Amino acid sequence: MVQDIPETDAEWREVLTDEEYEILREQGTEPKFSGEYLGKDDDGIYRCVGCGADLFDAETKFDSDSGWPSFYDAEDGAVEFREDRSNGMVRTEVVCARCEGHLGHVFDDGPDPTGKRYCMNSVALEFDEA
């Protein structure tokens, strides 16, 4: 499922929809409670829509009532973290470790065993059912 990573902005625009491009390449955010994976509870794996890398096992998904799909852990080495000072806040941005696509943010108010809440944009993900 892993795909080649586009090298230029023009190539990214060819492989992503306008909405996917806005989220992954321009650090956008989908509207609260609008994402297709918000209420999904099937077994499987969530992958990066930009490159196909495995990101989150569905077993780590939980209902955070935040308005976005939430996970308490990511696959080993699947994501990287960056400081985000946009919108007058200081947050931790989560990006795909393989293609550096923006996925969402991580917060320290999640459940055990990690205490983390990976608050992700559905648009940045694709789901592969087990």
Query: Catalytic positions, please?
Result: 119
Q: How far is residue 16's CA from residue 72's CA, in Å, rounded to a whole number?
A: 27
Three-state secondary structure readout of 44-64: EEEEECCCCCEEEEHHHEECC
Instruction: Say if CB 81 and CB 107 are below 8 A apart.
Output: no
Task: Write phi, then psi, for 37 (nearest 5 degrees).
Answer: -100, 5
